[in-house]
Structure 1
Amino acid sequence: MSAWEESSTARVVPPARPRKLAKVPFVELADGRLQGVVSSGSDIERVYVSSVAAGDHAFSCSTNNNRPCGGARGSFCNHILALITEAVLQYGAERVARYLRVDLADAEPDAGSIAAGMSRNRPAQADNSAAAPVFSRFLRHLAYLELAPSTAPLPETQWFPTTRTVA
């Protein structure tokens, strides 16, 4: 058993390229979607929770208090396009395209070709049921940033299973 398997920390995959967190502070490929939190361009106290489903590319965008995005009417809004751009920086274009199951048809993978590939399928607007869990994970990540650096275990992560068996 290797040392990292016995520790309470997980290996972190470094971003494909460095990114600035001001516009899109949280992005993840999870739950069959590209999802994250995007800052508002007009109100510093407002953020949008945006997502695009893998496969059918159904999309959703709403504020942190569940008001629908005015730009997401039948096509991707600027928040979703910013989310795709930051996901490409975080994970790399090939991984994002593969996760979302986008057919790039000989195009060089980048954020623009991924968005165009999804738009060709005429994605539908989905409900925003994923917004609450995504925003909750974002807030939990912010709370971890406020902790002082330490190698001590965090009580809320102690439930992770161990490889040792108890007799």
Structure 2
Amino acid sequence: MTAPARPRKLAKVPFAELAGGRLQGVVSSGSDIGRVYVSSVAAGTYAFACSTNNNRPCGGARGAFCNHIRALINEAVLQYGADRVARYLKVETAEGAPSAPAIEDGMSGTRPSPADTKDAAPVFSRFLRHLAYLELAPSAAPLPEMHWFPPTRTVA
């Protein structure tokens, strides 16, 4: 696991991941505290999707990135670093170090198209699973479902 590039505030984008050939995550609604959006951008094609957790389409994602996708890109840059996000999404940026606006500009120049929202459910499910770990009492005991993590060594 790589340490975050910079600390993030989790209120707006509580979950962001580079997985399945996409930047994907959960973004809080700006207008309704009980609503979240599952947003994604595909690597290479930049096909994007944004829908609520009830699979209703986002009203702002019509032919261009909505504010949820922009927030997801910004938070991914904070979590993973701009270089890693640009490399994963296969974005050609202008000279110099990439940034969230440069990554977005690199993708918008190719006329990204809306994608199917069928992959929203697994992303939201993983987010809910991550939330379940927050409810566990602190313990040094192993969790069976986390057995695939490499064991840590204590250096004396």
Q: State the TM bucket, normalised to the shorter chain.
A: over 0.9
Instruction: Return the letter of the residue paired with 1:137.
Output: R
TM-score, normalising length: structure 1? 0.87
Kindly report which structure 2 residues correspond to 1:106-117, keeping only aligned pairs within 5 A, or say none.
106-117=95-106
CA distance in 1, matches of 2:110, 2:27: 24
CA distance in 2, matches of 1:145, 1:126: 32
Kindly report which structure 2 residues correspond to 1:5-20, keeping only aligned pairs within 5 A, or say none.
12-20=1-9
Task: Work out the percentage of aligned pairs sharing the same amino acid.
Answer: 75
Partner of 1:63: 52
CA drift at 1:161? 9.1
CA distance in 2, matches of 1:95, 1:161: 22
CA distance in 2, matches of 1:161, 1:117: 35
Query: Secondary structure of 1:142's match?
Result: helix
Unaligned runs of 5+ in 1: 1-11, 163-167
* Alpha-carbon displacement from aligned partner over 1:2-38 (angstroms, at most 9, x marks no partner): xxxxxxxxxx321000110000000000000000000
Kindly report which structure 2 residues correspond to 1:1-167, keeping only aligned pairs within 5 A, or say none.
12-158=1-147, 160=148
Count of residues paired in the alignment: 150
Asked if the contact 1:87–1:96 (Cα under 8 Å) also holds between the matched residues in 2, the reply is yes
CA drift at 1:105? 2.9
CA drift at 1:108? 3.3
After superposition, the Cα gap between the structure-2 partners of 1:107 and 1:120, relative to the gap in structure 1 and judged at 3 Å, is farther
Unaligned runs of 5+ in 2: 151-156
Asked if the contact 1:107–1:113 (Cα under 8 Å) also holds between the matched residues in 2, the reply is no
- For the pair shown, the structure with the greater C-alpha radius of gyration is 1
Instruction: Return the letter of the residue paired with 2:7.
Output: P
Instruction: Return the letter of the residue paired with 1:48.
Output: Y
Query: Secondary structure of 2:46's match?
Result: coil
CA distance in 2, matches of 1:157, 1:136: 17
TM-score, normalising length: structure 2? 0.92
Asked if the contact 2:94–2:102 (Cα under 8 Å) also holds between the matched residues in 1, the reply is no
* Alpha-carbon displacement from aligned partner over 1:69-125 (angstroms, at most 9, x marks no partner): 000000000000000000000000000000000011315311001001000010110
